[in-house]
């Protein structure tokens, strides 16, 4: 008897198994062509069939060679469950099925390297803190609720440093007020920002779809939504167009793409909506950025000014190791580059140190910081070490609340707008998540992963796909492969984002009206209740049962 080689990988060891019905298959090859991970292949299968053709039973053996579609038993070519084979099969003959007996966590590390993937955190429980909070205060006979369909709502949030009345450099001559000095710039925008996703992390078509949706919402629907460029710069034509006013330019630790931005400054027709200095992100705090060489296409090389290679951003900004240095950096960015016309904000990963950073920025005598972006552990990413994705970071809800209450104790709430992200819209209802976070103290929220799901991303928190880092995105969203990028319909993706944002706007009003607010209920924690005593104590909201 042949020795059983127990160390060999079989299909049963992989996270997804291909369920294949050969009787339905016509061997058209569509599934093999559509699989971007080379997980299946055509093969010949030897079959022994017992038949009897006579009047009396006369069984005989026939051996047939039958063409079939076979799954590869290889970790490198493991099926990710994207389901593209099922989508293109005209006969419903093939589909991926989750394998609960997988050994992939052990097999992935067989090469001695850390496991990398995209997507969101996979270890957070199915029920989030936000799901255990509901709007419990409804205005009725005491103070009537508003009509969400007919009432006028002021749904705007500040992006920029807000001064207290006594800090404004104003004098009066008896007839009019005069401004004696420069004040920090403040832009009033929609309380939902399209989060930083770079050209490179996204395909050029996916990034274009998000940018197109941003411009359409502003121009046609008068919704002042802003989009962050992400690290890596932007196309020259966009930098030199009027649409730049809808874009927030990001400076990350790698400074990729900033040569092109600096060169375009003399030709800019409009100022950008703001500058965002990324210190860290919730999906991989303290781990820097990563753009694999597979995604560094020629257009990305041109925009970033780099050769085709793995692009690694350092964990921190070189020359920026303290809060004081970050303030100096913001001062230089505003003064030297845009003459104090553009607000500058900081993005940090939510962590135990978030309150210390926020408090120090509040006390800054120069009053430079125009926003504090907190990114929680459930934030998405295009490429990260799996150990960072699943085991580092902090949920954003409690940190947002703690930062707000710390500002309240000093009488400084609202001076540096708080923006929260990381898992907003995880269940598909971003309006409810945004409203609850605003009631807990945030001025607004930012969305990232949700946007690419609207574009057609099939990845989820249960291990489906999440192969953004491979450059083989089956939906054409997180890849630079020209053949795959063509799968993405730019107009349809942009339309999906626009439709969702219009629905979100209506839903936000549906939540604001019952509590009697015609403007954003920032810090109105009295509107929220929870049936979880621990959450009530931590967030200082009402416990109900």
Q: Residues annotated in the binding site, as ranges?
A: 79, 82, 85, 89
Instruction: Give the sign of the dihedral formed by CA 179, CA 181, CA 184, CA 185.
Output: positive
Give the integer Cα–Cα distance in Å for 490 and 273: 24
Report which of 106, 36, 31 is spatially closest to residue 75, judged by C-alpha positions.
106
Residue with tokens 């553009």: 342
Give the integer Cα–Cα distance in Å for 279 and 345: 10
Give the integer Cα–Cα distance in Å for 186 and 161: 6
If DSSP codes are grouped into helix, strand and coil, which group holds residue 106? helix
Give the integer Cα–Cα distance in Å for 214 and 218: 6
Per the annotation, binding residues for [4Fe-4S] cluster are: 79, 82, 85, 89
Contact 407, 335 (CB under 8 A): no
* Greatest distance between any 2 Cα atoms in the chain: 118
Phi-psi region of 220 (alpha: psi -120 to 50; beta: other; left: phi over 0): alpha
Q: Phi/psi of residue 370, each to 5°?
A: -105, 10
Give the integer Cα–Cα distance in Å for 118 and 195: 16
Report, in angstroms and rounded to the nearest whole number, the Rg of the chain calculated over CA atoms: 27
Residue 354 neighbours by CB under 8 Å, 6+ apart: 348, 374, 394, 399, 402, 403
Contact 445, 434 (CB under 8 A): yes
If DSSP codes are grouped into helix, strand and coil, which group holds residue 56? coil
Which token pair is 420? 């929260």
Give the integer Cα–Cα distance in Å for 451 and 57: 64
């Amino acid at each position: 008897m042949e020795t059983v080689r127990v160390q060999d990988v079989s299909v049963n060891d992989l996270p997804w198994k291909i369920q294949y019905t050969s009787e339905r298959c016509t061997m058209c090859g569509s599934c093999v062509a559509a699989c971007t991970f080379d997980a299946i292949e055509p093969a010949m299968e030897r079959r022994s069939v017992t038949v009897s053709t006579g009047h009396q039973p006369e069984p005989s053996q026939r051996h047939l060679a039958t063409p079939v579609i076979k799954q590869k038993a290889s970790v490198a070519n493991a099926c990710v469950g994207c389901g593209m084979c099922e989508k293109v099969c005209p006969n419903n003959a093939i589909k991926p099925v989750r394998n609960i007996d997988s050994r992939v966590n052990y097999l992935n590390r067989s090469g001695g390297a850390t496991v990398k993937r995209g997507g969101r955190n996979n270890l957070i429980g199915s029920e989030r803190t936000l799901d255990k909070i509901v709007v419990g205060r409804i205005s009725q006979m005491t103070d009537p609720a508003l009509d969400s369909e007919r009432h006028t709502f002021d749904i705007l949030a500040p992006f920029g440093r807000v001064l207290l009345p006594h800090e404004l450099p104003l004098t009066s001559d008896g007839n009019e007020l005069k401004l004696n000095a420069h004040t920090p710039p403040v832009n009033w925008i929609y309380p939902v920002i399209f989060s930083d996703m770079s050209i490179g992390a996204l395909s050029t078509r996916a990034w274009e779809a998000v940018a197109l949706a941003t411009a359409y919402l502003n121009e046609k629907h008068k919704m002042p939504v802003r989009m962050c460029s992400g690290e890596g710069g932007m196309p020259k034509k966009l930098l030199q167009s009027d649409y730049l006013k809808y874009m927030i330019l990001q400076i990350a630790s790698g400074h990729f793409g900033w040569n092109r931005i600096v060169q375009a400054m003399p030709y800019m027709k409009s100022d950008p909506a703001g500058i965002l200095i990324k210190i860290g992100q919730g999906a991989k705090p303290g781990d820097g950025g990563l753009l694999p060489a597979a995604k560094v296409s020629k257009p990305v090389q041109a925009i970033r000014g780099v050769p085709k290679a793995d692009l690694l951003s350092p964990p921190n900004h070189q020359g920026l190791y303290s809060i004081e240095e970050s303030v100096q950096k913001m001062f230089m960015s505003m003064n030297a580059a845009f003459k104090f016309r553009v607000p500058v904000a900081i993005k940090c990963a939510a962590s135990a140190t978030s309150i210390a950073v926020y408090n120090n920025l509040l006390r800054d005598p120069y009053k430079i910081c125009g926003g504090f972006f907190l990114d929680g552990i459930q934030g998405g990413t295009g490429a990260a070490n799996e150990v960072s994705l699943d085991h580092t970071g902090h949920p954003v809800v409690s940190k947002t609340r703690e930062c707000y209450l710390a500002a309240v104790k000093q009488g400084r709430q609202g001076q540096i707008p708080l923006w929260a992200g990381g898992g907003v819209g995880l269940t598909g209802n971003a309006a409810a998540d945004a409203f609850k976070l605003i009631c807990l103290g945030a001025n607004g929220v930012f969305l990232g992963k949700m946007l690419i799901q609207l574009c057609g991303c099939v990845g989820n928190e249960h291990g489906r796909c999440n192969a953004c880092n491979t450059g083989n995105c089956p939906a054409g969203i997180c890849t630079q492969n020209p053949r795959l990028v063509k799968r993405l319909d730019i107009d349809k993706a942009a339309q999906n984002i626009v439709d969702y944002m219009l629905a979100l706007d209506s839903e936000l009003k549906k939540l604001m009206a019952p509590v009697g607010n015609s403007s954003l209920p920032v810090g109105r924690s009295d509107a929220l209740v929870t049936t979880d005593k621990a959450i009530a104590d931590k967030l200082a909201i009402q416990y109900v049962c």
